[in-house]
Amino acid sequence: MNKFAIVAKKNEKSFLIEQQINRELSANGWVMDKNKPQLVICVGGDGTLLYAVHKYLDQLEDLCFVGIHTGTLGFFTDYTEEELTLCLHDILHHEPEIFRSYLLNINTGKEQLFALNELRIENVKRTQVVDIKVDGEFFETCRGSGICLSTQAGSTAYNRSLGGAVIDNGLNIMQLAEITSIQHCKQRSLGNPYILKMDRKVELTSNDFSDALLCYDHLHQTLDGVNQVICTMSDRCVRFARYREYSYLQRLKNLY
Ligand code: NAP
């Protein structure tokens, strides 16, 4: 592989790193190709990588990602900015191992969306009623601010703030978490996060999704004219180029 693209956070520091990467790789025979890259180098944070994944969503099968963090180390980023020289050396001289992270498939009936971290249906204006079915079987009615369905990769993101479990690397699952659900004598729902095996189908239905937002990773849209959202694990994945050992435990310890 020798065709690359760079997706950098919009700040001065990331811009300077982007220029340095471009110079070094070009001087060593690599070709900048924004349209058909084989390696996408992300400079910024985990949020920048999410942005890059959605930018290249149609080409995920043909490319892989490597991330350089301009803050502390993240989950999707293997190098800090101080390690830029090492990162470039690795890209130029080593074959990476490929680590795959599977996407959530979100079907609104109108379109098909994908998420690396999670899907959320959120309503901050009023109580959102959501009926949840798993594999076609009624599970519960949740009343609250919404529902979050996360992947393994997303377990350390929004899911974690909801009290969801951090899921070990390599486990391909979905995790359902209620967002501020109402719990009293007349209304009960599970309340705890529910970890589902990868071949489950989760249906989120409501008579009224007006005012609610469908959020997926850093993106969102309204649910006008939509009454049901169906989620499954996709067989599509994000491929990360791993040039060196950086354990999941280390990533986790860097988080807090
Ligand atoms: P963003 O500013 O791009 O990200 C918000 C924070 O979430 C940043 O600190 C980001 O890390 C971190 N993050 C993203 N993916 C992560 C992952 N898989 N594991 C651990 N941390 C992760 O915000 P955005 O554009 O609104 O949304 C992008 C993502 O941020 C969403 O998918 C959501 O999971 C997450 N988020 C979390 C919360 C929360 O925990 N309360 C609130 C909003 C959004 P970097 O600083 O490295 O970019």
Arithmetic mean of pLDDT over the chain: 96
What does the pLDDT read at residue 1? Answer: 81
What would the pLDDT profile of 13-46 be if each residue is shown by its tens digit? 999 999 999 999 999 999 999 999 999 999 999 9
Q: Is the pLDDT of residue 71 over 90?
A: no
State in Å: Cα 256 to ligand 1 middle: 14
Is 46 assigned a catalytic role?
yes
- Residues 167 and 193: beta-carbon distance below 8 Å: no
- pLDDT above 90: percentage of residues in the chain: 96
What does the pLDDT read at residue 233? Answer: 98
Pocket-forming residues, ligand 1, beta carbon under 6 Å: 45-47, 50, 71, 74-75, 117-118, 153-154, 156-158, 161, 217-218
Tokens of 75: 């989950």
CA distances from 116 to 23, 151, 200, 219, 238 (A): 31, 7, 17, 11, 8
What does the pLDDT read at residue 57? Answer: 98
Tokens of 165: 């479990």
Q: What is the dihedral of CA 159, 150, 191, 203, to 10 degrees?
A: 150
What does the pLDDT read at residue 73? Answer: 74
Give the integer Cα–Cα distance in Å for 208 and 39: 43
- Label residue 89 left, alpha or beta by phi (over 0 means left) and psi (-120 to 50 means alpha): alpha
The pick from 10, 46, 214 for probing ligand 1's pocket by mutation, whose C-beta has the most ligand atoms within 8 angstroms, reads 46
Q: How confident is the model at residue 167 (pLDDT cuts 50, 70, 90)?
A: very high
